[in-house]
Structure formats: structure tokens, C-alpha cells
Amino acid sequence: MTDLETTVATTEQLSRYIIESKKMRPAQGRAHHTAFMPPPNRRLSVYRTSDLDEDAIWEIGREFVAGPLQKTLYARADLQAAEVTACQLRTEPAPAVHPRHANIEGWPDDDAQVRQFALVLSQRARLIQVPDTQS
């Protein structure tokens, strides 16, 4: 595996795994904005997937996201880290879970603004559904 930098470059691809079908909009090719709403700790989990092939990207989702939660992996939403920065948020490496794990942090306290940032991220991300052979 490539050694990852301690800071996330704006050119890096981030993948947000989707384990609830209601958090995706396949007809529009996008994730629902709720897929990008942070949990109460305001750390939204993503993975740094720039230099990985498709099989490796899906393996992370199955093994480190869906598996531990005993959930079905439906899709992922890919976006560039620059999109996170454009929302005045930051992507912080959090390798305790996996060397490629990171969190989107810096969410505002205002819930309406959080929702707006989640909406923007969902619109800028590309939804990729799990291939039939991997579900």
C-alpha cells in the first residue's frame, strides 16, 4: 500500500460508504444529503481511495464499514477532498480504524448550515452502486 501523507491533499478522492438504501438516489446518480450528515461527534467517516482499484475500494467498504456493523453495503459516494475544503470543512486522517480512514471535520454548530454543507457535498459526489457480483 502507498504510504499516505499525514495531511489529505485536495486532489485526493474520498469515498463515503452507504449502508442504508434510503441514503442514495440511484436515478439521479447521487447520494441523498443525509449520507453526508455528520454524527453527533461531528466526525463524518470517509476513506482515502485515490490510488486504489475498484476491488480494493469495495473491499474496504465491506470489511471496515458494512461488516463490523452487520449491514449491507449498497453504494459509495466519491468526491474530491477539494469539495470538502470548498465547504470550509477539513479532512483529517484518522488511521486508527484503517490506514486510509479519515474524518470530515470542522462542521458548524448551526444545524441549518450543517444540512446545507451536506447537501452541497451530496450534489458534488458521484454515486457508485455495488456491482452485482459483490453485494
Largest Cα separation within the chain, whole Å, is: 42
What distances in angstroms separate CA 97 from CA 29, 65, 94, 112, one per listed residue? 28, 10, 7, 30
Give the start-to-end residue ranges of the domains of the chain.
Answer: 13-134
pLDDT at 1: 40
Among residues 43, 20, 33, 21, the alpha carbon closest in space to that of 97 is found at: 43
- Render 36-92 in DSSP notation, one character per residue: G---TTS-EEEEE-TT--HHHHHHHIIIIIIHHHT----EEEEEEHHHHHHTT-EEE
Residue 134 has pLDDT above 60, yes or no: no
**∠ Cα 61 72 35 (to 5°):** 70
* pLDDT digits 0-9 by tens, 53-72: 999 999 999 999 999 999 99
* pLDDT digits 0-9 by tens, 82-117: 999 999 999 999 999 899 999 999 999 999 999 999
